[in-house]
Amino acid sequence: MITTIIIAIATFILGYIAGIYLPQKFRKEDKTPKISIGPFQESQNYFDITNHGGEILDLKIKILWLQDGERKERKMEDFFGANEDPTFASSHKCNALKKGETKKVINCPMYSDNREVEVIIDGEDIIGKKYSNKLILKNNIKSQP
């Protein structure tokens, strides 16, 4: 009886060490940035960008859209903090996004011929690996007079 209890306790301890403790101790934290964008906020002309992964450095954001049948391009360089009100705050430059950080990207075009704005995000993770991602932001079609 006591032998069975000792074996059960030893098995539980070994299972804990092998199944929970060791994987947590030796797990490598993912350093790759994981960027998402929020929906276009037409009332104040911005969209949110959030980093769910590792830190991204040398951040560059470019947008492409169709306007009157012509492909347009713009570098996005003006940002607000996640809790700042674009009506009252002043914008700032941003060249990095930390894990869990959200910024408001301003001066997005209000209209696009196909309702899509391509958001191209380039940068580097903290170990120097290049990061590039293209996301689609939906906006409005310019109404015809």
- Given a cut of 80, whether residue 98 has pLDDT beyond it is yes
Per-residue HEC secondary structure of the chain comes to: CHHHHHHHHHHHHHHHHHHHHHHHHHCCCCCCCCEEECCCECCCCEEEEEECCCCEEEEEEEEEEEECCEEEEEEECCEEECCCCCCCCCCECCCEECCCCEEEEECCCCECCCCEEEEEEEEEECCCCEEEEEEEEECECCCCC
Tens digits of per-residue pLDDT, 19-52?
Answer: 666 666 666 666 788 899 888 887 778 889 999 9
- Given a cut of 60, whether residue 18 has pLDDT beyond it is yes
Q: pTM for this structure?
A: 0.73
Q: 73 versus 38: which is more confidently predicted?
A: 73
